[in-house]
């Protein structure tokens, strides 16, 4: 393991199959919400960077979409995004959820990581996420299964929701970073634009409590942010107009809900996060639109930023 005395800074990619706890771990490591989380798989759509700065190191966390066998053009583009990301990082954290058995999806990713390790010698740390969700005996079985899956530079369990061993994960990942001055200002926790963060907050709120097929069909685009004129300096207000795209009219009905009740709940939840992000009150104007089969339409994917 490298000498830990010199200051270290670099990029860390958290990879794993969908719903492996990557976004939750990113938020726990950064100490603030920079990646959306959901009980539904395939939540993350962008390589979100969370930045953790201490007196000893700076971890720039790249939270990628879950690697999976693609069933659409969107799925293929998300996989390509992960692989492109892995080519430019200093260390990889391979997340394997403790509450699920090691399966074909993990083996699929492990093969990719083994090829990358041979080609670029990138250190890979296997992280047994969600350790709080299982017994000690089951966790021990899971760690043995992870060990048999490949050759890892280290294996460590953690629970991001409970905070167990999060600091130890941070120290372990940091120890593999190159010697370097800070790459970002010490008070910066992400390099995502405000527009992207707002879109992600709306998408997270819209994903809660919906049917399993909807997360794959949901895209969000911020149309504009307009400050209200003639507001006092100490009480600004912005109009935030956001479009939520789905693929079928039936999905539009799910998002809107009976009498618009669900869309109001989505707006209320998303507005809280947006106001915290922007530091002042906002009026959130949500519109749900149908973009038929956008996951398979190259032009639609380009328009939506994929």
DSSP state of 260: G
Is 63 annotated in a binding site? The answer is yes
The Cα–Cα gap between 223 and 199 comes to: 10
Tell whether the model's pLDDT for residue 45 goes beyond 50: no
Q: What average pLDDT does this structure show over 215-226?
A: 79
Q: Which of 125, 180, 105, 151 lies closest to 12 in space, CA to CA?
A: 125
Confirm whether residue 116 is marked as ligand binding. Answer: no
Q: What pLDDT does 192 receive?
A: 66
Q: Are 90 and 122 in contact (CB under 8 A)?
A: yes
Beta strands across the sheet bearing 124-129: 48-53, 57-63, 8-15, 91-97, 124-129, 154-157
193 is in an annotated binding site: no
pLDDT tens digit sequence for 222-255 = 888 899 988 888 889 999 999 988 888 888 888 8
Check the annotation: does 161 bind a ligand: no
> Residues 78-112: pLDDT tens digits?
666 666 666 778 999 999 999 999 998 899 889 88
* Cα gap 166→164, rounded to integer Å: 6
pLDDT at 69 over 80: no
305 pLDDT more than 80:
no
Domain(s) labelled CATH 3.40.50.300 in the chain stretch across 8-175
Q: Is 17 annotated as a binding residue?
A: yes
What φ, ψ does residue 171 adopt, rounded to 5°?
A: -65, -40
> Is-contact 96 139, C-beta < 8 A?
no
Q: Three-class SS of residue 53? A: strand
| pLDDT for the residue numbered 40 | 46
Average pLDDT over residues 27-51: 62
Please report how the helices 166-175 and 22-30 are oriented relative to each other, as an axis angle in degrees rounded to 10. Answer: 90
299 is in an annotated binding site: no
Choose the weakest-confidence range: 151-160, 206-215, 280-289. 206-215
128-184 pLDDT, tens per residue?
A: 999 999 999 999 999 999 999 999 999 999 999 999 999 999 999 999 999 999 988
Domain boundaries 8-175, corresponding CATH code = 3.40.50.300
- Residue 131 marked as a ligand binder: yes
Which part of the chain has CATH 3.30.300.20? 194-303
- Residue 235 is labelled as binding a ligand: no
The response to whether 49 counts as a known ligand-binding position is no
Q: Say if residue 132 carries a ligand binding annotation.
A: yes
Pick the CATH number of 194-303 from 3.30.300.20, 3.30.70.890, 3.40.50.970, 3.40.50.10860: 3.30.300.20
The reported pLDDT for the residue numbered 4 is: 46
Contact by Cβ (8 Å): 37, 65: no
Per-residue pLDDT band at 64 (split at 50, 70, 90)? low
Is 105 annotated as belonging to a binding site? no
């Amino acid at each position: 393991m490298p000498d830990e005395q010199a200051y270290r800074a670099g990029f860390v990619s958290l990879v794993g199959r969908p719903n492996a706890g990557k976004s939750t771990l990113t938020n726990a490591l950064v100490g603030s919400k920079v990646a959306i989380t959901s009980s539904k798989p395939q939540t993350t759509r962008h390589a979100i960077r969370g930045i953790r700065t201490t007196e000893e190191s700076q971890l720039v966390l790249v939270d990628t979409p879950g690697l999976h066998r693609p069933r659409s053009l969107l799925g293929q583009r998300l996989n390509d995004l992960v692989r492109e990301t892995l080519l430019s990082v200093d260390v990889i954290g391979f997340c394997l959820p403790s509450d699920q058995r090691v399966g074909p999806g993990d083996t699929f990713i492990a093969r990719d990581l083994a090829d990358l390790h041979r080609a670029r010698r990138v250190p890979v740390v296997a992280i047994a996420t969600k350790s709080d969700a299982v017994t000690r005996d089951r966790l021990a079985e899971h760690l043995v299964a992870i060990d048999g899956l490949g050759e890892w530079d280290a294996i460590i369990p953690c629970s991001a929701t409970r905070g167990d061993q999060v600091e130890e994960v941070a120290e372990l990942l940091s120890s593999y970073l190159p010697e370097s001055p800070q790459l970002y200002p010490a008070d910066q926790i992400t390099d995502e634009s405000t527009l992207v963060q707002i879109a992600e907050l709306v998408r997270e709120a819209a994903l809660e409590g919906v049917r399993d097929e909807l997360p794959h069909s949901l895209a969000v685009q911020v149309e504009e942010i307009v400050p209200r004129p003639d507001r006092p300096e100490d009480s600004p207000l912005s109009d935030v107009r956001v479009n939520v795209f789905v693929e079928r009219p039936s999905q539009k009905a799910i998002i809107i809900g009976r009498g618009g009740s669900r869309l109001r709940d989505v707006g209320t939840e998303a507005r809280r996060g947006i106001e915290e992000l922007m530091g002042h009150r906002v009026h959130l104007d949500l519109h749900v639109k149908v973009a038929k089969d956008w996951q398979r339409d190259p032009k639609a994917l380009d328009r939506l930023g994929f």
